[in-house]
Structure 1
């Protein structure tokens, strides 16, 4: 039960951080990707979170920037 709540807290932290780095259109696109390919969505989330933590992101990521990132991966 404790691991479950810890995992849920980590997932919530990820969602909160992604909400701050993605604009609404990009967030919507990522959620649609998650419906079709959860593993690809997780991979992209990980990349975005690492970029945010290392200071590589300036401002919010737009839908077009997300598409560009998807094409690179």
Structure 2
């Protein structure tokens, strides 16, 4: 669909190659987690919270923050 294509285009602009590969590996194991991460990255990009492309290291840090938040809320 057109929305999915726009989403992929945005993510390719937001993430560097290593980060994109990491997210793809996450999607194979936990598609819902990868989708939530994509949503978060797109929201952050739209609100101007991202400076330049997200690296794999930054992606991992974001994932760790999300994991900590979800563990503390349960």
Please, what TM-score do these two structures have when normalized by structure 1? 0.89
The C-alpha deviation readout for 1:23-69, integer Å capped at 9, x for no partner, is 00000000010000100000000000000000000000000000000
RMSD between aligned alpha carbons? 0.4
**Pair 1:31 & 2:24 matched:** yes
In the alignment, what sits opposite 1:9? 2
* Structure-2 separation of matches of 1:46 and 1:66: 13
Q: Secondary structure at the match of 1:55?
A: coil
What is the aligned length? 66
Please, what TM-score do these two structures have when normalized by structure 2? 0.88
Which runs of 5 or more residues in structure 1 are unaligned? 1-7
How far has the Cα of 1:17 moved from its partner?
0.1
